[in-house]
Chains A and B, each alone.
Chain A
Amino acid sequence: MSYRIALPEIDTFSAWRDVARRLISAEIPPEEILWSRGDSENDLFARPLPPLPKSTITVPKSFVSLARLAIWHCDTTRFHQLYALLWALHPDSTLIEDRGDIRISRLNRMAKEVGRDRHKMHAFLRFREIGDPDAPRRRFAAWFEPSHYTLEPALPFFTDRFGDMDWSIFTPDLSAHFEGGTLRLTEGIEKPALPPDATEDLWRVYFRNIFNPARVKLNAMTSEMPKKYWKNMPEAADIPELIATAEARVRAMAEAAPTMAPKRAEVIKARGKNRDT
């Protein structure tokens, strides 16, 4: 018979840490616990956890930073894996330094994947203005589809950066709202229809013109900006045309005969020489 523990969808890490500390102190081994996020499937043979006293245990710092990321991975065994590692670290905390250990390298890989997902969210999320541009606090909104439960760990970046505006970030799993300096999380929604934003057109002008057709390197682009992100990035709509016309543009540059310098060039250059003497 095992114990069932349902962790909340918001503030999952603190909840996991709190209960994991108690479980370690009560010496309940990993194989006796069934973890879940939210109140999911009921296991007929599981029983709820008896009340355990609050407790603290010491763990290496690097375990905490590993857990803080890996906990948001979509792998359903993440809570179990973290607890199993914590269990193993309890008698021997130096184990965390063993980067060749299978348990640790697997969790590190998961943490890295969440870290990358968060980084891409910081990079590729696009706000649209949805309120009055002259209001004292302007209002923006964005839709993003992360690959893991990445919204919550991604939020400090947005509150640090966009402090003087109100904004919402919608994802299929959860939504975040920052209003008047206060952050709150609500349920996820389906992709909302955000109003068009004229600045997006200027941004696309920039994207098209900063591209250098003589240096096409598609692998370098797609390895850093995989196609799965494109559908929510306004500038990505221009990519196919930029690629299709690049070669012809380069050929045209090479074939164009040198032109005569404009008349003003001589005047300006003469003026420069006079100043030097």
Chain B
Amino acid sequence: MSRLSLEQKLAILSDAAKYDASCASSGGQKRTSKDGKGIGSVTGSGICHAYTPDGRCISLLKILMTNFCIYDCVYCVNRVSSNVRRARFTPEEVVTLTLEFYRRNYIEGLFLSSGIIKSPDDTMADMVRIAKLLRTEHRFRGYIHLKTIPDAAPKLIEEAGLYADRLSINVELPTDSGVKTFAPEKDPVQIRRAMREVKEHKEARSDRSHTGKRPPKFAPAGQSTQMIVGADGANDSTILRTSSRLYTGYRLKRVYYSAFSPIPDSSSALPLIKPPLIREHRLYQADWLLRFYGFDVEEIAESGTEDGNLDLDIDPKLAWALKNRHLFPVDVNRADREMLLRIPGIGQRSVGRILSTRRHRTLRYDDLRRMGANLKQARPFITLLDWHPRGLTDTEHLRARFAPQPQQLQLL
């Protein structure tokens, strides 16, 4: 094999990394380089430095250390049985690319992942070495996200958490049986054990010692995971129940849903499909309802379709409201926060504004418009001083008002 240039390696190893949905740089510990003795900062809220035509944000330099891999996960572009071109960065190359991109304001930091080479421990040790080089030798204070190898030694995971802002371990598929079928070398029990270890390290290091000193922070931006949607047969209710367990059981910051997407040199065991992007979008909306709107996973599951999936035509909050019309219309001037959050078209921010303004006066229709509520959606579900939906809430065709019109057939 001829020696690859840095440019060729970058092409191969970013192409290999693009199926990981996460690129977030939020939630890190705030840092600066104002002292002039290093480079980089973390603002806490994350920045998308560019968008590709797939609408995804580029926040981090998302690359694989190597796409050589000894595993054979059917859905993965880097599986051992694939004929894609292989490459491997040296630690110094990763460090240089990160720093040079960072200095030109292209990125917030590094998201490093890897195929498994030799052994999980060897791979993890190399990744930790890169993070350590960046932090200690180059005084890099930007964001680092390391994809943790679940089978790596606990000691290595602990070290990774000292250099990285975020750790993640992919659960890969929503069910254990899915993992066994499509990622035969991976063990769901081991994946969960590794996630528990990260959670425990983080908790142990957030307590002060008896002297009142805080230990060095462990992965301050927490841990996240990813599930592939549409490769196995799991329905949306199953997926959301898995997410809900992950959020509560392992204190995950985010669960990412990645629509299974065509890959070059795909396996005959998994035919290529058009990636289910709307389904992925609805899952994110439902995920939001679980985390920020006080919804229970079963409430969302019940307002979906009969086969246990989310309604693709309307968003899950609207779907829930349509199934629970007896609770509407809600009096915006009297309802409590919990109920306001359940009104379709009214988000968290609008709820905050409603509550703050309500302390002084009674709200009218135009007030809500100025507060940024989506009244087209909210209208049938609310009453205000000068607005009542009358029979609109109960009309049979309410769903049809929101669902997209059926597309007209075209002559071929």
Interface residues of A (CB under 8 A from B): 94, 97-100, 102, 105, 119, 122-129, 138, 140, 142, 157, 159-165, 181, 197, 199-203, 205-221, 224-225, 233, 235, 239, 242-243, 246, 250, 253-254, 256, 258-259, 261-262, 264-265, 268-269, 271-272
Establish whether residues A218 and B58, one from each chain, have CB atoms under 8 Å apart when the complex forms. Answer: no
Contacts A126-B105, A160-B32, A210-B62 given; does A242 touch B40 at CB 8 Å: no
Nearest Cβ on chain B to A56's Cβ, whole angstroms? 26
Separation of A268 and B117 alpha carbons in the complex (Å):
10
Task: Give the number of chain B interface residues (Cβ < 8 Å).
Answer: 79
Establish whether residues A239 and B53, one from each chain, have CB atoms under 8 Å apart when the complex forms. Answer: yes
Establish whether residues B55 and A217, one from each chain, have CB atoms under 8 Å apart when the complex forms. Answer: yes
**Segment 16-72 of B: residues with Cβ below 8 Å from A:** 17-19, 32-41, 43, 47-58, 61-62, 70-72
Main secondary structure of the interface of B (DSSP, over half): loop
Establish whether residues A214 and B55, one from each chain, have CB atoms under 8 Å apart when the complex forms. Answer: no
Separation of A240 and B56 alpha carbons in the complex (Å):
16
Establish whether residues A199 and B38, one from each chain, have CB atoms under 8 Å apart when the complex forms. Answer: no
Contacts A99-B370, A99-B371, A161-B41 given; does A243 touch B62 at CB 8 Å: no
Contacts A202-B10, A209-B15, A254-B262 given; does A99 touch B353 at CB 8 Å: yes
Across the two chains, which residue of chain A brings its CB closest to B6?
A: A202
Establish whether residues A202 and B97, one from each chain, have CB atoms under 8 Å apart when the complex forms. Answer: yes
Separation of A239 and B61 alpha carbons in the complex (Å):
18
Establish whether residues B357 and A142, one from each chain, have CB atoms under 8 Å apart when the complex forms. Answer: no
Establish whether residues B80 and A268, one from each chain, have CB atoms under 8 Å apart when the complex forms. Answer: yes
Contacts A163-B33, A262-B83 given; does A216 touch B7 at CB 8 Å: no
Kindly supply a per-residue 1/0 record for chain B positions 138-175, scoring 1 wherever the CB is within 8 Å of any chain A CB and 0 otherwise.
Answer: 01001000000000000000000000000000000000
Separation of A165 and B40 alpha carbons in the complex (Å):
11
Nearest Cβ on chain A to B387's Cβ, whole angstroms? 13
Main secondary structure of the interface of A (DSSP, over half): helix
Q: Nearest 9 A-B pairs (CB), nearest first?
A: A220-B55, A100-B367, A217-B55, A163-B33, A261-B81, A258-B268, A99-B353, A160-B32, A211-B52
B272 at the interface (CB under 8 A from A): yes
Tell which of B34, B265, B353 touches A163, judged by Cβ atoms closer than 8 Å.
B34
Separation of A202 and B71 alpha carbons in the complex (Å):
30
Contacts A210-B58, A214-B261 given; does A122 touch B72 at CB 8 Å: no
Stretch at the interface among B285-293, B302-310, B358-366: B358-366
Nearest Cβ on chain B to A231's Cβ, whole angstroms? 14
Tell which of A199, A207, A250, A269 touches B262, judged by Cβ atoms closer than 8 Å.
A250
B contact residues around A125 at 8 Å (CB): 105
A contact residues around B298 at 8 Å (CB): none
Establish whether residues B105 and A221, one from each chain, have CB atoms under 8 Å apart when the complex forms. Answer: no
